[in-house]
Structure 1
Amino acid sequence: KPMVESIEFIVEPLGMRISAPRETTILNALSRFGIGLPSICGGLGICGKCVVSILEGFENLNPTTEPERRHLSQKAIREGRRLACQARLLGGVRIMISPEELGSKPRLQVEGLETKVELDPAVSEILVKASPPTIADVRSDYRRLLDAIPKGDASGNPKPILEGLRLLPSRVRRYGWMVRLVLWKKERVLDILPPRSRRRLLGIAIDIGTTKLAAYLLDLKGGRTVAVASAINPQVAFGEDVITRISYAKDSKGLIRLQKAVIRGINDLIDECCLKANATFRDIYEIVFVGNTAMHHICLGLTPKTLGFAPYVPVVQEPLDLPSKALRLKANPSANVHVLPVIAGFVGPDAVADILATGLHEAQDPCMIFDIGTNTEVILGSKDGMICCSCASGPAFEGAGIKFGMRAAEGAIESVEIEPRTLKVDYKVIGNGKPRGLCGSGVIDAIAGLLRAGVIDSTGRMGIEEGFPGLRRNDSGQREFLIAPAKETAIGVDIALTQGDVREIQLAKAAVLTGAEILLKEASLDASEVKKVFLAGAFGAHVRPESALAIGMFPPFEIARIQSVGNAAGTGAKLALLSMKLREKAKEVADKCQYIELHTHPSFKEVYFRALSFPA
């Protein structure tokens, strides 16, 4: 009997890879793996409810069918929409399903350090009582307001905005020449409000990750976080890593698509935060955003082209203040957008925010930050100086390239315990249901456990000849270790860790370790001299430090010195929103932090090849 060709496709936003026989419909392939889409008609093409977006490989499906042409507009079909019950797999594709239809929203890291800061926001308000004009006093309405501002409450001559001036004549006369002025840095009038207006003074901090977005809505008067929201960065539709997106953005149309996608994602989070806080977007007078340099450029509509080749030069490094209207962000029409500075290369405002959040720039002794993600930043330093680098760790830590890999969402195995003698496996699943796959922290745990048990050697090779229980060859002849048998899973097949998965993690962990080793070498420090190690980001929040050390992702730090700090970049963005002093400090940090370009470093190849091995 001839073998049926198997087709692999990717399901976003889970980052899950699924195999199915050629000619299988997407609906049937998904249902085999426990992913049920709305399909009232049972897959007959009658209800039109099972719509999916084809992100890549549209040509690897059968032509659109008559039921699809009936239910979907020509525009929807051109944009890549298909009915899952009608689309048959002829080759590899990448599809997007909304989290609502999946019923399992990806777990995104929004919590970070709780850091106290002296409240000193750029946005403030004052109540002003001006005198009405007379025949003897014909000063303009605006000049009368300026002259009535108490000394010290403004810079003497704050600039007006057109929207405010249009409202000014009616407003001052209606309210007896008493109004509330909303000021930015005491040098620009953002709004002119009635004295008893219910308008709130809010700001929003945005962390733009390669994979994830996080938003924090803050009360600028009290410094309190009033709402938090997170989502997958819509740009994943155009590529999972930074390099792919830079390539996509090389022409102006690609850049515009990427910018529109991330702005749409940010605006959706603003809507969600406002709904949670019972606020309106007009209450938002300032936005601070951070991200790596590529995300920074794309959000601003700047070409990231020069970041794609040596010497990896950004368009701009300086901190920026821009009108929110220029980026089409949902905020008060006069709101300001503040962008933290870029350090160099791919080390962007997110790294500056990490430093502010952890206080690395004020530390007495050497400390290290690892902000682990698709693009990993490593920073080493103290009050005496800082050095940093960027590591192309890739998306393996988020489940990409792993046979049963998926992002950290319901159904993902997030932790694994392997008994060294019997090789008995215990695992924990996000959401406590049946497993659908392995997320990054689960993969790291599994590899660490197999290293301790001697199933994997220092080269990364699985020792199948030893006859270990659970170790076998799969249908492709590749070595694999069984994590969860089919009877326990939501997808009806065994979930296993393959030899190929181990190789993917070796490449990713070697990139991180190389960055750390080269920074230590540049600073003439040993790992034992680093007093604190901060693990930032979603992966850093959930990976077990002992497992990360066991696979050699980090230098041999003392485990007690390793601290998870969650979304430190988001915390740093919040601090910059609440404190003008910290914005100034951010500029100093960016200027003082020395950037090391790994790929041109004389020790790079030697250190990297050594870092590929697991600790013996």
Structure 2
Amino acid sequence: MPTATFLPGYRKAVVPSGTTILDAARAAGLPMNVVCGGQGKCGKCLVFIKDGTVSFDTEDCRRFFSNNEIASGACLACRATIVGDVRVEVPAESLIQEQKILVEIPGMKEVPLKPAVWKYEVHLTPPSLDDTTPDLARLLEGIEGQEGPPPNRIYAPLEVLRYLPQVLRRSGWHVTGTVALVPGGYRLLNVDEGDTTGRLYGAAVDLGTTTVVAYIRSLTDGRVLATASNYNRQISCGEDILSRVNFARKSGLSRLQQLAAESINESLKSASDAGGIDLEEIFEVVIAGNTVMTHLLLGIDPSYMIAEPYIPVVRRMLSTAAGRIGIAAHRNAGVYTFPAVSNFIGGDIIADILASGMADRDEVSLMVDIGTNFEAVLGNRDWMLSCAGAAGPALEGGEVLFGMRANPGAIERVRVDAGTLTPSYSTINGIRPRGICGSGLIDLIAELIRACVIDRTGQINLEIDNPRIRRGPYHPEFVVAWKKETSIGKDIVITENDIRNLIMSKAAIHGACMTLLDAAGLTPRDIGRIYFSGAFGNYLNKENAITIGLIPEVPLERVENIGNGAIAGANIALVNRERRKALDGIALRITYIELNTEPSFMDRYTSSCFLPHTDLALFPHVQQMLEACRARQG
């Protein structure tokens, strides 16, 4: 079989002839950046064939790469198949890179520290002929004396009983017992020699489809001690949820479970190393993930979620021991997964709701989590409606010529001078631009509307005499950065086709929000607060989001970015057992609306396929801006 060697790291994979370079790269452990799932639509999996035998259609490449790049061996990894031994250069921008992590989570300071696991230091009286109390009873009585739970409420696992007598006697009867509150009572997790009360840690994890984020916290004072992120290794079995479920159906469930655990462990190991923490002293792990990710992590068959009538195995909050699913913590540590509402409203969204606090308020709130797929929840402490749909990859940089994920070199903020049309921008890590990420794309479209460069359909006004406005090879385009400014040696532009893709993405989200309002008998004026969640939402300019019609127009002070709500909610559930206990109740209050069967959704979507909307009365401030724009044009 052919060998594929990937540069510059010289990683190798031996694969059957006919394997795509993308699949070979995954087999070699390279996390390729494939926003479209390997369908040849996003152009993000650029590689250069240095030597060897591959087969691909050059015309596929001309949509994304220049003639000079093609002459240098450029091709799409997802479309090129390996025929013989090959050497492939993989540019840094073609790999998924570590995302930015916010160490301080908004609102966490207001969350009381009430963990569900404690350590009790005890000095016990040794047994004697006059006191023949068994070792376990002696220990549990000592724990009760330190304001711990009563002995008859604490369960001791067999493995703890097996080493208990040796630990008690080696330590001179000075030990620390670790006890956790579990469904039905308490569990003795561990017994250490001496005083280890200062070393009690927990982990909060966001198990995403693409990336995994982990926080390690002290459960004695609540401090964040370290964070880390990495890509989800399940990508090697499929880029998206559907492909992974299909992989599981083909006897791949155990492999996907192993990869999920390995992905979490990689983040936990990185964070523990950074914080100088022993993984064995992590006694709780709280994990937020979508419904499929949770099933795969626990090794539960997700197959029936993609076949009628689309039923998951379980929706409630689950707990298990870390050792049972291979999580790198103390083997008796409790691993808790968030509950779900449906196949499409999973534990990550329940975590968003917990982080926003919307389930505790009387006012009506709207929460929107945006990615390639989106989820929206409308409601308050008494009721909630939810829906989910496909936004398409445009808002994450896919199907946009120079779009990219929020990696170093991505333009994340843009302003355009209305007079000269000169953009000013900032990039992630402050380096020369390589492309534009989702927040930058929303800024750019809003700025082009304000500068009268594009109309409400997204069409570029070619009558404006400015070198930045030109006819591109396929579509009219606006130059955001000249090639001399960039790190990729070419102009970074946004085309009319890019704008159309972005309009369709934002229309799906706005249409869904309006459908929820219709179902509740409400209007945008009834929304007390709007929350953006997700890594994307954290860097979104809320005024620009309203300007393009991504969300309903409300006063700006009512719009709040809560960042990665999944990891924020997981942190809250980790440090506060009362908030964790409320999760199942939150999930049960949520009614799911299937947009595909909701008659009003398509009408709402179609009406939203304009900037910002066909009905400008829904966006009075944007309407004023557009009138001022027309006045400037005469």
TM-score, structure 2 as length reference: 0.80
Matched, 1:545 2:538: no
For the residues of structure 2 that align with 1:25 and 1:449, how far apart are their CA atoms?
A: 45
The answer for the alignment partner of 1:154 in structure 2 is: 149
Which of these residues, 599, 610, 614, is aligned with residue 611 of structure 2? 614
Is structure 2 residue 497 aligned with structure 1 residue 500?
yes
Distance 1:373 1:423 in 2: 30
CA distance in 1, matches of 2:349, 2:494: 33
Aligned residues: 556
Q: 1:112 aligns with which of 100, 105, 116?
A: 105
Please show how residues 415-494 of structure 1 align to structure 2 within 5 Å.
415-464=413-462, 469-475=467-473, 477-494=474-491
CA distance in 1, matches of 2:49, 2:281: 52
Equivalence for 1:84: 88
Whole-Å separation in 1 of the counterparts to 2:104 and 2:311: 32
SS at match of 2:178: strand
C-alpha spacing 1:546/1:557, structure 2 compared with 1 (3 Å): same
Q: Determine the C-alpha separation between the residues in 2 that align with 1:18 and 1:24.
A: 19
Distance in 2 between residues matched to 1:567 and 1:543, nearest whole Å: 12
Higher mean alpha-carbon deviation, 113-122 vs 220-229, is at 113-122
CA distance in 2, matches of 1:256, 1:285: 25
Partner SS for 1:522: helix
Partner SS state of residue 210, structure 1: coil
Q: How far does residue 111 in structure 1 lie from its aligned partner after superposition?
A: 4.8
State yes or no: 1:12 paired with 2:14.
no
Asked if the contact 2:412/2:425 (under 8 Å) is kept, the reply is yes
Are residues 1:510 and 2:507 paired? Answer: yes
**Residue equivalent to 2:176:** 180
Identical columns (%) = 35
Amino acid corresponding to residue 191 of structure 1 in structure 2: N
- Describe the SS at the equivalent of 2:120: strand
In structure 2, how many angstroms separate the alpha carbons of the residues matched to 1:21 and 1:275? Answer: 33
SS in 2 for 1:583: helix
Q: Are the aligned partners of 1:213 and 1:231 in contact in 2 as well (CA < 8 Å)? A: yes
Shift of 1:514: 1.9
Aligned CA distance change for structure 1 residues 62 and 251 (closer, same or farther; 3 Å):
closer
Matches within 5 A, 1:135-154: 135=129, 137-150=131-144, 153-154=148-149
The reply to whether residue 167 of structure 1 matches residue 163 of structure 2 is yes
Return the offset for 1:278.
0.9
Do the aligned partners of residues 489 and 94 (structure 1) sit closer, same or farther apart at CA in structure 2, a change above 3 Å counting? closer
Name which structure has the greater RCO, CA cutoff 8 Å, separation 6+: 1
In 1, the alpha carbon distance for the partners of 2:179 and 2:536 equals 39
Paired residue type of 1:322:
T
> Which runs of at least 4 in structure 1 moved beyond 4 Å after TM superposition?
7-11, 13-16, 18-26, 54-57, 93-99, 108-111, 135-139, 237-240, 465-469
Matched, 1:122 2:116: yes
Tell me how far 1:478 sits from its aligned partner.
2.2
Question: Which secondary structure state, in structure 2, belongs to the residue aligned with residue 150 of structure 1?
Answer: helix
For the Cα contact (< 8 Å) 1:110–1:214, is it kept in 2? Answer: no
Indicate the residue corresponding to 1:68 in structure 2. Answer: none
Q: State the one-letter code of the partner of 1:204.
A: A
Aligned-residue offset at 1:8: 12
Which residue of the other structure, out of 317, 322, 325, is the alignment partner of 1:324? 322
Gap change, CA 1:353 and 1:214, over 3 Å in 2:
same
Amino acid at match of 2:494: L
Equivalent-residue separation in structure 1 for 2:568 and 2:597 (angstroms): 32
* 1:388 Cα offset (Å): 1.6
Q: Distance in 2 between matches of 1:248 and 1:614?
A: 40
Deviation sequence 1:277-307 (CA, Å, 0-9, x none):
1111001011000012122222222233333
Which residue identity does 1:486 align to in structure 2? K
SS at match of 1:189: strand
1:264 corresponding residue in structure 2:
262
Alignment of 1:60-79 (within 5 A): 60-61=81-82, 63-65=84-86
Residue 171 of structure 1 and its aligned partner are, at CA, apart by 1.5
TM-score calculated relative to the size of structure 1: 0.83
- List alignment gaps of at least 5 residues for structure 2: 1-19, 26-30, 36-41, 53-60, 66-71, 614-634
State the match for 1:402 in structure 2.
400
Query: Any residues of structure 2 matched to 1:521-532 within 5 Å, and which?
Result: 521-532=518-529
1:91-110 alignment runs, 5 A limit? 97=95, 99=97, 105-108=98-101
- 2:51 and 2:403 map into 1 onto residues whose CA distance is 22
The alignment partner of 1:250 has SS state of helix
Separation in structure 2 between the aligned mates of residue 221 and residue 554 of structure 1, nearest angstrom: 41
Contact 2:120 2:197 in 1 (8 A): no
Deviations 1:5-31 (A, max 9, x none): xx99998349684698996669xx9xx
Equivalent position SS for 1:290: strand
- Whether the aligned pair in 2 keeps the contact of 1:365 and 1:382 (CA below 8 Å) is yes
Q: Which residue of 1 aligns with 2:292?
A: 294
| Distance change >3 Å, CA 344–CA 234, structure 1 → 2 | same
- Deviation of 1:410 (Å): 1.3
Contact 1:291/1:348 (8 A) holds in 2: yes
CA distance in 1, matches of 2:418, 2:259: 47
What's the CA shift string for 1:477-504, capped at 9, x where partnerless? 2222211111111111111112221222
The change in CA–CA distance for 1:144 and 1:114 in structure 2 (over 3 A counts) is: same
Gaps spanning 5+ residues in structure 1: where?
Answer: 1-6, 34-42, 44-53, 66-82, 88-92, 100-104
1:251 corresponds in structure 2 to 250
Q: 1:517 Cα shift?
A: 0.8
Aligned match of 1:578: 575
Give per-residue Cα distances to partners, 1:65-106, cap 9 Å, x unaligned: 5xxxxxxxxxxxxxxxxx435x9xxxxx9996485xxxxx44
Which of 513, 534, 557 is residue 554 of structure 2 equivalent to? 557
Rounded Cα–Cα distance in structure 2 between residues aligned with 1:612 and 1:244 = 29
Instruction: Give me the whole-angstrom Cα distance separating, in 1, the residues matched to 2:45 and 2:279.
Output: 44
8 Å CA contact 1:55, 1:96 repeated in 2: no
1:547-589 Cα distance to aligned partner (Å, 9 max, x none): 2112111112222211111122212111111122111211211
Structure 1 210/141 Cα, relative in aligned 2: closer, same or farther at 3 Å?
same
Q: Deviations over 1:462-486 (max 9, x none)?
A: 34466664232323x2222211111
Partner in structure 1 of residue 390 of structure 2: 392
- Matched residue SS, 1:423: coil
Distance, in Å, in 2 between the alignment partners of 1:452 and 1:247 is 46
Q: 2-side partners of 1:94 and 1:506: how far apart? A: 29
Return 320-329 or 450-459, whichever deviates more.
450-459
**Equivalents in 2 of 1:19, 1:355: separation in Å?**
35
Residues of 2 paired with 1:198 and 1:205: CA distance?
20
Give per-residue Cα distances to partners, 1:236-257, cap 9 Å, x unaligned: 444444334334433232x344
Q: Secondary structure at the match of 2:144?
A: coil
Quick one: which amino acid aligns to residue 173 of structure 1? R
- Tell me the CA shift for residue 198 of structure 1: 7.1
Q: Structure 1 residues 613 and 110, CA, compared in 2 at 3 Å: closer, same or farther?
A: farther
Quote the Cα distance in structure 2 between the aligned partners of 1:606 and 1:251: 39
Pair 376,63 (structure 1): closer, same or farther in 2 beyond 3 Å: same
Aligned CA distance change for structure 1 residues 198 and 444 (closer, same or farther; 3 Å): same
Alpha-carbon spacing, 1:109–1:146, altered in 2? closer, same or farther (3 Å): closer
Aligned AA (1:12): M
Q: Which moved more, 1:160-169 or 1:488-497?
A: 160-169
Other-structure match for 2:191: 192
> Aligned letter for 2:106?
L
Secondary structure at the aligned position of 1:415 is classed as strand
Residue 209 in structure 1 maps to residue 208 in structure 2: yes
Cα offset for 1:319? 0.7
Q: Which secondary structure state, in structure 2, belongs to the residue aligned with residue 508 of structure 1?
A: helix
**What corresponds to 1:37 in structure 2?**
none
| Cα distance in 2 for residues equivalent to 1:8 and 1:468 | 42
Q: For each residue in 1:154-179, what CA deviation from the matched residue of structure 2 results, as whole angstroms up to 9, or x when unmatched?
A: 24331112332222111212233332
Distance change (3 Å), C-alpha of 1:21 and 1:314:
closer
1: CA distance between counterparts of 2:607 and 2:332? 54
